[in-house]
Amino acid sequence: MASFVQTFWAAPRFALTPEYKPRCIARIARLPSRDSTFLPSDSVIVNSVSSIEEREKSSPIADVQNGHLVSTIKEESKKDVQKKLEPLWDDGYGTQTVKDYLEIASEIIKPDGGPPRWFTPISAGPPLEDSPLLLFLPGMDGTGMGLVLHEKALGKVFQVWCLHIPVYDRTPFVELVKFVERTVRMKHASSPNKPIYLVGDSFGGCLALAVAAHNPKIDLVLILANPATSFGSTQLQSLLPLLESLPDEFHVTVPYLLSFIMGDPMKMAMVNIDSMLPPGQIIQRLSSNLIDLLVHLSGLADIIPKETLLWKLKLLRSASSYSNSRLHAVNAEVLVLASGKDNMLPSGNESQRLKNSLRNCKVRYFKDNGHTILLEDGVNLLSIIKYTNKYRHSKRHDFVMDFVPPSRSEFKNALKDNRFYLDCTSPVMLSTMENGKIVRGLAGIPCEGPVLLVGYHMLMGLEIVPLVQEYLRLRKILLRGIAHPTLFTQLVESQTNETSFFDTLRLYGATPVSASNFFKLLATKSHVLLYPGGAREALHRKGEEYKVIWPDQQEFIRMGAKFGATIVPFGVVGEDDIAQLVLDYEDLKSIPILGDRIRHDNELATRNGLTVRTEMNGEVANQALYIPGLLPKIPGRFYFLFGKPIHTKGRQDLVKDREKARELYLQVKSEVQNNMNYLLKKREEDPYRSVIDRTAYRAFSATFDDIPTFDY
C-alpha cells in the first residue's frame, strides 16, 4: 500500500427518475490503512438539493480516516480559483503510475451495493475559472481510474468527472447511455455555450459515440482511445465459451494474460522514469517498476472477476453493435487515438474506418503503444488535446484566449526531442541594453509586455526552435509566434507520427496570422514573435540568404503603438552553416510531376482561404509554399542579436500619423539588416563556430551553456 494519502472527489450523481436519489459531492480519502473503504454514495447524503450547481456551493465532505467517518463542510472562495496558468506549470505527469491505478482500484471495487456514479479524483483540481467539463468513460475495468496518469494535468483546465461502474453492477449498455446522457443534458442546460468533453477508453468509446448520436445538437468533443467499435470483427467473442468453461481456480491466471494483451508492460513501467538519465539508472528503475507491476497484477482478478469478465465481454458486443449502427447521427468533433500494437483490437484499421464514417474526425496514430494507451509512457493526453487545437471554452477555438501554456513536463519532452539539434547549432544569444551595450543572454529584452520581437526568418524557419526554447528557458516567458495559417490545417496534419514539428509549434503557442489574433496577443501583454517577411523570406530563393524581404506597408507599427508595445528588432545568421540550398522554387516547379504537385497544393491552399497578403504586389506577395532541396553541412553555429528596445508607449503620433509610422518601420527594418551584418562579420572570429571544436571543448572543459564565442 502506498504511504501517501490518496483522495477522491465523489462527484454529483443526479438522476431524473424517481428511483434515483440526488447525491452530493463527497470527498473520499484513502489512507495507508487497509480499513479504508470507498463509501457508497448513499452514505454521504446530506440536505438533498435540486441541482449540481447548488450542491457544489455547499458540498459536504466525508473523510474516511482509519475507518472513522467525519462530516465537514468545505467553503471555496472565488479568490482561490486560478484564472490562468504560467509557463512551465507543474502538470504532475509521471507522479502517478499504473501501480497507483492498481492500488486505488483495489480499494474502490469493494462492493457497496450502489449503481454507477461519477467521481472526481482530488488531485484533479481545482480547475481554472470557467473550465469546461470532461467526462471520462472507462474501459472494461469500469473503475474510472484510467486517467490516473493524466488527472493532475487535466484537472487544471477541466472539471473532471470519472464514471465508476461497480464490479458487480449489471446495468445494460442502453441504460448506461441514458445515465451519461442525463448528465450531459443537465450540464448543457446550465452552460449551453460551453463544450462538453467525452473521453472514452475502449468500451467507453462506444458509450461516448452512442451519447453523441443521441444528442447531435449539443456541442460535444469526443476523444476516443482505441474505441471498441471493432469488437464484432475480433476473436475476443470466441473467448466467451472458453471462459465459461474455465475452472474458477484458474481464473487467477487470466489477469496476467490480459495484461500482456491489453497493454505494453515496458511502457507502463517507464512512466515515471526520466529518459535523460544514464542508461544504468534507467535499467535499475525499470527493473524495480516491472517487479512492482507484476506484484500488483494479481489485483486484476478482483477488479475483473470471472463473472464480471463474462458480463463485460457481452456488454462490449452490444456496445459495439449499438454505436456502429448510429455513427451516421454523430455530429460531434471527434479525435481518435489509435495504437499500432493493440493486441486486443485492430485499432489502427478501425481508426481509419471511423475517420471515413464520421463527419468531423481526426486520427492520431501511436505505432508503439498497446490497447491501454492512457496508462502507457509517452502519451500525455492534455498535450494531445492542446496541439490538435481541441481545447476551447466556447463553440469555436480561440488561439489566444483558449491557449494553455506549456507545462514543465512538456518543456522537458520538447528539450529532449530537440537536444541533438540544439547541440548541433549551439545558439549564441546576444542582446542590447538600453545604454547600447551588447551582452550575452536576453537581459536587454524587457520582461514586461507587450513586447514585439521583429526579425529575419531564416530558411525553413531553422531558427524558431532554438529561439523559442531558449527564450522560455532563460526568461521563463513564452514567445508567441505569428504563423502561416497552413500550419493549422489538415495539409500538415500527421497521422503516422505521435508528434510532429508542427505539433511542437502549436504546443508552444504559434498563432495563425490575422489582425484579430495580433490584437488579442498585444492586448494580453504577450511577448510576440513576428516575421514581416513571412513565408517568402523563409522560403527564399538562391542568392537571397540574409536578404530582408519585407512588404512596403508598416503592418505592425501602428498596432504595436496602440498598445504601447516595446519593439525589439533582431537578426539571426547560421542557415548557411547548416545546409546549402540546392533546389529552390524556380528549380522545383520546372521538374515534371513535382512541379505540378506544388502548383496543385498551392491552388488548394488558395481555395481554402489559406493564403495571406493576396492584396499586395511585389516579392512579398509571391508566397508559394514548397519544401526546398537542401544539402546538409557539418553544422556551424546560430547567432542571434537583439537590438536596443524601441519604446512606443505614449507615442500616439505613430497611431495617427502614417508617415511617422513608416519612418519607424524603416528604422526597424534597417536595424534587422544591420544586426545580421554585424553577426556575419563577428562569427568569423568565433573559435568555436564548428561543431567539432565545440564538441571537443564540451568534452574537456564545459557544459552546453559555457561554450565561449567571439568578443562583443
Neighbours of 359 (CB within 10 A): 13
What residues contact 346, with CB distance under 8 A and at least 6 apart? 230, 233, 234
User: Of all residues in the chain, what percent carry a pLDDT higher than 70?
Assistant: 75
Contact 162, 121 (CB under 8 A): yes
Contact 206, 320 (CB under 8 A): yes
pLDDT at position 11 is 38
CB burial string 220-240: b at 16+ within 10 A, e below: bbbbbbbbbbbbeebebeeee
Q: What is the pLDDT of residues 122-172, one digit of tens each?
A: 888 789 999 999 999 999 889 999 999 999 999 999 999 999 999 889 999
Cell of 300: 486484476
pLDDT at position 452 is 97
3-class DSSP state for residue 528?
Answer: strand
Cell of 552: 512596403
pLDDT at position 67 is 29
If you write DSSP's letter for every residue of 116-132 in order, what string do you get?
-EEEEETTS-PPPTTPP
Q: What is the pLDDT of residues 641-664, one digit of tens each?
A: 999 999 999 898 898 888 999 999
Cell of 235: 476473436
Return d(Cα 588, Cα 592) in angstroms, integer. Answer: 9
Q: What is the pLDDT of residues 408-435, one digit of tens each?
A: 999 998 988 898 999 899 999 999 999 9
pLDDT at position 194 is 95
Phi, psi of 477 (to 5 degrees): -125, 135
Q: How far is CA 499 from the centre of its chain?
A: 10
3-class DSSP state for residue 269?
Answer: helix
pLDDT at position 188 is 97
pLDDT at position 388 is 92
Q: What is the pLDDT of residues 273-324, one digit of tens each?
A: 676 667 776 666 666 655 565 555 555 556 667 777 788 888 998 999 999 9
Summarize the confidence of residues 532-537 as an average pLDDT.
90
Summarize the confidence of residues 174-181 as an average pLDDT.
96
Q: What is the pLDDT of residues 328-370, one digit of tens each?
A: 999 999 999 999 988 888 899 999 999 999 999 999 999 888 8
CATH of domain 83-388: 3.40.50.1820
pLDDT at position 368 is 87
pLDDT mean across residues, the chain: 81
Element (H, E) at 656: helix 653-656
pLDDT level of residue 72 (50, 70, 90 thresholds): very low
pLDDT level of residue 96 (50, 70, 90 thresholds): confident
pLDDT at position 291 is 57
What residues contact 330, with CB distance under 8 A and at least 6 apart? 209, 212, 213, 216, 222, 358, 359
Neighbours of 507 (CB within 10 A): 22
Contact 12, 52 (CB under 8 A): yes
Looking at the predicted structure, is the pLDDT value of residue 21 above 80?
A: no
Q: What is the pLDDT of residues 609-619, one digit of tens each?
A: 666 665 555 56
pLDDT level of residue 243 (50, 70, 90 thresholds): low
More confident residue, 559 or 252: 559
- Residue tagged 501511436 (cell numbers): 366
687 prior amide bond cis, ω within 30:
no
pLDDT at position 153 is 95
Q: What is the pLDDT of residues 455-512, one digit of tens each?
A: 999 999 999 999 999 999 999 999 999 998 888 877 666 555 567 888 889 999 999 9
Contact 338, 312 (CB under 8 A): no
Contact 357, 241 (CB under 8 A): no
pLDDT at position 20 is 34
If you write DSSP's letter for every residue of 420-469 in order, what string do you get?
HHHHHH--EEEEE-TTS-EEESSTTS-SSS-EEEEE---GGGTTHHHHHH
User: Of all residues in the chain, what percent carry a pLDDT higher than 90?
Assistant: 52
Contact 637, 683 (CB under 8 A): yes
Low-confidence winner among 94-98, 164-168, 522-526 (lowest mean pLDDT): 94-98
pLDDT at position 264 is 61
pTM of the model: 0.83
Looking at the predicted structure, is the pLDDT value of residue 47 above 80?
A: no
Return d(Cα 218, Cα 694) in angstroms, integer. Answer: 58
* Partners of 89 in the β-ladder: 407
If you write DSSP's letter for every residue of 565-613 in order, what string do you get?
PEEEEEEEE-GGGTEEEEE-HHHHTTSTTHHHHHHHHHHHHHHTT----
Question: What are the extents of the domains in the chain?
Answer: 83-388, 425-700
Low-confidence winner among 38-52, 252-266, 382-396, 573-587 (lowest mean pLDDT): 38-52
What is the SS3 string spanning 363-392? EEEECCCCCCHHHCCCCCHHHHHHHCCCCC
Summarize the confidence of residues 222-231 as an average pLDDT.
95
pLDDT at position 506 is 92
Q: What is the pLDDT of residues 55-69, one digit of tens each?
A: 333 333 233 232 222
Low-confidence winner among 19-33, 242-256, 279-293, 470-484 (lowest mean pLDDT): 19-33
